[in-house]
Chain A
């Protein structure tokens, strides 16, 4: 059975919050990358990627997050990641140094405030 990932988008002032749910792996990563980039119009400043509902991220998913951050930076837009405390995903994010790609927060509210 293949994996699936969905996003639900929410506007928050000049920021856009993308709530991602499901599994991010080699089979879902391309579609998700497109969705995330389209989510953010030219007038928005920041994309908050909420990974609270994500159950799995593999190396392809981490690569996708790095790549998305790079593209947004080229468009003069920022990105922030939300990973709740105690998430199963945290050790892998630490291991791969993803905080170099985007600042990390434990809640969406914290991410929006900090911006």
Chain B
């Protein structure tokens, strides 16, 4: 005979499974009415009773409404009187499961017309709980005597609890809906721009103010429309910022431009806060506040800042050589990069000029400080340098004079500078570094920094004494002068940066402009933190193969011609005396053309020279008519040419004169 205990176990297992199933359905969002029907169905089936009802205690506590019913002669939605001493009344007060074996014999209760009519003998009732007061009561009834066990009571309570929780959630949702409705009502009359989203970030509501502002309809705004009215430049960031906040359920605030009905954009500050119903995240609510005035003022302020930066930069550029001077026999390239942002334009400068004796003076400097003052001080320094470099023979004397000038000026300007004098013909350099990073020499044997001539910055206070470094650089050497903005960086030691500079520069190709570009790109990119000035200098290699030059027909051209033809002759292997004499002869011929062949105007004298079979041949030609020498010294000019050259031929044509000269080299 199967044991009773075994039966009870099976029943309990089945009841627990049933309660769990109903619970899952409730969680899955089964509508409340269906859930209640389901509840009475499973109870009548599992308990094998004749009638099950679910009654809701109505507000006021005096009536019950039938929410679900199985087997009772009542209508759903029907209202029943709640008698204090009825089973329902007793259960609601007692709040626990109430089990009745024989209703008529139980004196806890008065007679109930409903239960009498239904012929109920045995019954059990439990309370359906609620947050502040019970939701109602569930009753199970049998017309025959029925013994309800403790397990049955637990089962009914479990079902009742499931229904109670579902009711509670539905009520909470209803409350949220109501509060949202109230919110919307309020929102629509508020001057602010308000919006709400659901838990997926979809817009569920925007207020009248928002619609008036954007000129769009509610149906345009509702849905996955986030950032759709934002300025295209801001939309991406706005969307990303919101999605990030949404993922973290965090508050967010963002400034962006919102499109107005008239198509213009206004800056707004959007603040969004997550909404929760209990612990349940339900979406965002937020406002957008018009901050256009503040924002445009901020921008105007920033523009003012940029304006000063711009003025300083313009001044800076206007004080730098517009283009480097053309110096015969020297390749030059320079770069100036202003600091990336802020009014931080400094007083970096560079310059190059040819001195009377044919040496090339190059300089880079860096006035301490930034902005307009530094740029102005830089202009003063540059002018001083141009004057003193011509007057003084050595670099130390020139720098010392600039130092004295700065200290006398009362401007309290201080600057570092590197001044270098280059003899193109011999490769000799003299240089003074006034607190400035050393120049880099890219020689055919490798790169090295020229460390000599170290001295204090100019304008530093005490009388500076300035040293001079001397080096002789092999042919083909390129010199790189720069300001500290190229190499100084907070996150790397200077020695490391200098090594990087020498490696990048040594690896660059032969083109000087490309060299500057590569160095700048590798060391600072296009937005340096500090100003950067960079100057590359390289004497052109001289070859004796061919010399060709076209000079403006004016006396001032002669000095340059003498130096360039001198370099050609040096390369050709001429001795110093030969160089002097051939140079003089060429200059005399060119001078004759300049003095006599032309009137005023834009005319040129062509000089070509070549070396063949150990002899130098020079042709000087013009496009004017040769004139017979006037006065003694012109006569001496021809005398000199003929006396110094081994062969001289003068061809006088209608359209010009050509002087052809030749001299064998003894070496």
A82 to B149, CA, bound (A): 144
8 Å CB contact of B587 from A25, A55, A96: A25
Q: Which of B357, B576, B633 contacts A59 (CB 8 A)?
A: B633
| Segment at the B interface, from A12-20, A34-42, A44-52, A60-68 | A60-68
B356 at the interface (CB under 8 A from A): yes
Write out the residue numbers on chain B whose beta carbons fall within 8 Å of the beta carbon of A62.
Answer: 633, 636
Which residue of chain A lies nearest to B325 when distances are taken between CB atoms in the complex? A1
Is A84 part of the binding interface, using a Cβ–Cβ cutoff of 8 Å?
Answer: no
CB pair B559 A3 closer than 8 Å? yes
A2, A63, A88, A91: the one contacting B636 at CB < 8 Å is A63
Q: Is B301 an interface residue (CB 8 A)?
A: no
Indicate if the CB atoms of A59 and B577 lie closer than 8 Å: no
* A interface residues with partner B (beta carbon < 8 Å): 1-4, 22-23, 25-27, 55-56, 58-60, 62-63, 66, 88-89, 91-92, 95-96
B643 pairs with A59, CB closer than 8 A = no
Q: Which residue of B lies closest to A96 (CB)?
A: B636
Q: Is the CB of B640 within 8 A of A23?
A: no
Q: Does B355 belong to the interface (CB within 8 Å)?
A: yes
Residues of A within 8 Å of B71, CB to CB, are none
Q: Which DSSP category, helix, strand, loop or mixed, fits chain A's interface? A: mixed
Q: How far is the CA of A75 from the CA of B328 in the complex (A)?
A: 45
Contact A1 B587 (CB under 8 A): no
Contact (Cβ within 8 A) A63 B591: no
* Contact B640–A3 (Cβ < 8 Å): no
Q: Complex formed: what's the CA distance from A56 to B559 in Å?
A: 10
The 3 closest A-B pairs by CB, nearest first: A63-B633, A4-B356, A59-B637
* Given A25-B587, A88-B577: A59 and B559 interface contact (C-beta under 8 Å): no
Q: Is B584 a contact partner of A58 (Cβ separation < 8 A)?
A: yes
Complex CA distance for A22 and B356, rounded to whole angstroms: 9
What are 6 A-B contacts with C-beta separation under 8 Å? A56-B580, A59-B634, A59-B639, A60-B633, A92-B581, A95-B639
Would A60 and B591 count as touching, CB distance under 8 A?
Answer: yes
Question: Given B357, B558, B577, which contacts A26 in the complex, CB threshold below 8 Å?
Answer: B558
Across the interface, which residues of B come within 8 angstroms of A56, CB to CB? Answer: 562, 580, 584
Residues of B within 8 A of A4 (CB): 356
Q: Are A63 and B632 in contact (CB under 8 A)?
A: yes
Cβ contact within 8 Å between A23 and B633: no
Q: Which residues of B contact A58 (CB under 8 A)?
A: 584, 587-588, 591, 637, 640
Question: What is the distance, in angstroms, from B666's C-beta to the closest C-beta of chain A?
Answer: 13
Q: For residue A43, give the distance in angstroms from its CB to the closest CB of chain B.
A: 31
**A-contact 0/1 string along B331-364, CB 8 Å cutoff:** 0000000000000000000000011111000000
- Tell me, yes or no, whether B653 is within 8 Å of chain A by CB: no
Q: A1-B358, A56-B584, A58-B591 are in contact. List 10 more A-B contacts (CB 8 A).
A: A1-B560, A22-B356, A23-B356, A25-B587, A59-B636, A59-B640, A89-B580, A91-B644, A92-B640, A92-B644
Instruction: Select A2's contact among B559, B588, B631, B633, beta carbons within 8 Å.
Output: B559
Q: Tell me the complex Cα distance, A60–B559, Å.
A: 14
Query: Once the chains are docked, how many angstroms separate the CA of A89 from the CA of B644?
Result: 12
Report B2 CB to chain A, min CB distance, Å: 126
Task: List B contacts of A92 (CB < 8 A).
Answer: 581, 584, 640, 643-644
Contact of B559 among A25, A63, A88, A96 (CB under 8 A): A25
CA distance A63 to B640 in the complex (A): 12
Whether A1 contacts B640 in the complex (CB less than 8 A), given A66-B632, A88-B576, comes out as no
Q: Complex: how many Å from CA A96 to CA B637?
A: 10
How close is B18's CB to chain A, nearest CB, in angstroms? 110
Once the chains are docked, how many angstroms separate the CA of A96 from the CA of B640? 7
Closest to B562 in A: A56
Q: Is the CB of A1 within 8 A of B355?
A: yes
The one of A2, A63, A88, A95 in contact with B356, judged by C-beta atoms closer than 8 angstroms, is: A2
Contact in complex: A26, B555 (CB < 8 Å):
yes
Find out whether the CB atom of A2 lies under 8 angstroms from the CB atom of B644: no
Asked whether, in the complex, the Cβ of A88 is within 8 Å of the Cβ of B580, the reply is yes
Q: Which of B357, B558, B576, B632 contacts A25 (CB 8 A)?
A: B558
User: Smallest CB-CB separation from B634: which chain A residue?
Assistant: A59
Q: Mark interface residues in B572-596 (1 if CB within 8 Å of A CB, else 0).
A: 0000110011001001100100010
Least distance between A48 CB and chain B CB atoms (Å): 23
Alpha-carbon distance between A7 and B298 when the two chains are bound, in angstroms: 65
